[in-house]
Chain A
């Protein structure tokens, strides 16, 4: 069955450092992969989408990579800030439609 794993449920880093979150998937060949941010008590918010033919995508301090050979996506936040503290979810998606399967998420805590 399709499986999505995100590294460690929690990640704690110091302000100013780069946070790297991992998303691995198995039994799956997604056409693209999305990353979302979720704050406590709120719904997920879309951050970035990367397609299978793209190696890397950037948006301000965010960078996403997508390695279809390793079946892995990495999500980087550079110069992290306490405001970046949240849960980050990855969601690979298939070719046929827009149905998403979400990983359980990694909770990032950035301390000042």
Chain B
């Protein structure tokens, strides 16, 4: 398996533009997580899905952020409009809920820079 795939790996955009980050989880996994990592705040959970349904989006900073999971093999995180304070590395992770392991598999991340 290729692992969790994220695209793009790097994104540079201007303030006010729309940004869409993409994630393909590991085949067969039924839970998907979006995290944001900064030096100041560390790794923060934004939202997670079980069986394509959003379970907890309390970590989404504000209405400018939205996430979708239209099917088991694809998810998007959208920021509209983007702001400089959104600059961070965004990680997607997947896991197989209901097993004893609970370990999460992370993608390589998308480094977002908003100027």
Interface set of A (CB-CB < 8 Å, partner B): 32, 34, 42-46, 49, 89, 93, 97-105
Contact of B102 among A34, A42, A101 (CB under 8 A): A34
Is residue B105 contacting chain A, with contact meaning CB distance below 8 A? yes
- SS class of chain B's interface: helix, strand, loop or mixed? strand
Closest to A42 in B: B108
Q: Quick check: B104 and A103 within 8 Å, CB to CB?
A: no
Interface set of B (CB-CB < 8 Å, partner A): 4, 31, 33, 35, 42-45, 48, 50, 55-56, 91, 93, 95, 97, 101-109
The 8 listed contacts between A and B (C-beta, < 8 Å) are A43-B93, A44-B91, A45-B106, A46-B104, A97-B56, A98-B95, A100-B33, A104-B42
Also in contact, A43 and B91, with CB within 8 A (given A97-B55, A97-B97, A99-B45): yes
When distances are taken between beta carbons in the complex, the residues of chain B under 8 Å from A43 are 4, 91, 93, 106-109
Q: Quick check: B42 and A105 within 8 Å, CB to CB?
A: yes
CB distance from B105 to the nearest CB of A (A): 7
Contact of A102 among B43, B103, B108, B109 (CB under 8 A): B43
Closest to B95 in A: A98
Rounded to whole angstroms, the CA-CA distance of A100 and B35 in the bound complex is: 10
Q: Quick check: B91 and A98 within 8 Å, CB to CB?
A: no
When distances are taken between beta carbons in the complex, the residues of chain A under 8 Å from B103 are 34, 46, 49
Rounded to whole angstroms, the CA-CA distance of A45 and B48 in the bound complex is: 18
Q: Quick check: A89 and B106 within 8 Å, CB to CB?
A: no
| A45, A99, A103, A105 — most chain B CB neighbours (10 Å) | A99
Q: Quick check: A49 and B106 within 8 Å, CB to CB?
A: no
Q: Quick check: B43 and A93 within 8 Å, CB to CB?
A: no
Sorted nearest first, the 4 A-B pairs with minimum C-beta distance are A43-B106, A104-B42, A46-B103, A102-B43
